[in-house]
């Protein structure tokens, strides 16, 4: 299941993409704790995420705890950037969430929500919500407000495809099932 929403309509002035969000949910035939542990392992992030090159805990943080921080280095095409992320939820085995940039006025908020699925599996929802702070999406919409709907739709399509890929890789690690490049079983 994939839900993508943008409440803002066409952006004409201000390029306000705050609140743009997307979620994708998948069932993984593995216990909650195993899936949570895979998602929480920052050393795996570059292998399971198409945009992330590196993730490291920033001292004194060493793992998922409320207030911990990590740095993510990402790339889209030729553009590479690093951002500091702040853990807002670390509830094993139910949820992981973090903000990008300032936790009070984030660029974005990301989450994984886990709950019991069918049989002994795990239902995982991976989500994103754009915040009020600076971002590549906000800059793109500000630069070309007449194309705002197209720009936002394109980025949301990229995000949901990437979230599907990430959850497909986690499913593969958790179950040994072979997953194709789209995040679907092969």
Which CATH superfamily is 24-175 part of?
START domain (3.30.530.20)
> Which pLDDT score is estimated for 8?
43
Q: Residue 16 — very low, low, confident or very high, per pLDDT cuts 50/70/90?
A: confident
> Which pLDDT score is estimated for 182?
54
Mean pLDDT, to the nearest integer, of 68-80? Answer: 96
Q: 143-161 as b/e, with b when 16 or more CB fall inside 10 Å?
A: eeeeebeebbeebbeebbb
Q: What is the overall mean pLDDT for the chain?
A: 89
pTM above 0.75, yes or no: yes
> Which pLDDT score is estimated for 179?
62
**pLDDT tens per residue, range 121-144:** 999 999 999 999 989 899 999 999
Q: How many CA atoms lie within 13 A of 40 on its CB side?
A: 22
What are the extents of the domains in the chain? 24-175
Q: How far apart are CA 43 and CA 16, in angstroms?
A: 34
Q: 38-73 as b/e, with b when 16 or more CB fall inside 10 Å?
A: bbbbbebbbebbbbbeebeeeeeeeebeeebebebe
């Amino acid at each position: 299941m994939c839900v993508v929403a943008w409440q803002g309509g066409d952006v004409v002035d201000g390029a306000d993409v705050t609140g743009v969000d997307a979620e994708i949910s998948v069932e993984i035939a593995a216990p909650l704790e195993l899936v949570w542990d895979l998602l929480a392992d920052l050393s795996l992030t570059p292998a399971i995420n198409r945009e992330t090159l590196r993730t490291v805990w920033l001292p004194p943080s060493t793992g998922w705890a409320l207030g911990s921080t990590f740095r993510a280095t990402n790339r889209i095409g030729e553009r590479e950037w690093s951002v500091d992320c702040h853990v807002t939820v670390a509830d094993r085995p139910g949820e992981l969430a973090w903000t990008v940039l300032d936790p009070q006025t984030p660029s974005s908020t990301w989450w994984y929500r886990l709950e019991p699925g069918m049989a002994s599996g795990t239902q995982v929802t991976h989500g994103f919500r754009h915040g009020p702070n600076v971002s590549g999406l906000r800059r793109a919409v500000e630069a070309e407000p007449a194309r705002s709907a197209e720009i936002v739709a394109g980025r949301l399509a990229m995000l949901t495809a990437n979230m599907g890929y990430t959850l497909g890789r986690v499913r593969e690690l958790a179950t040994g099932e072979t997953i194709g490049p789209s995040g679907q079983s092969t």
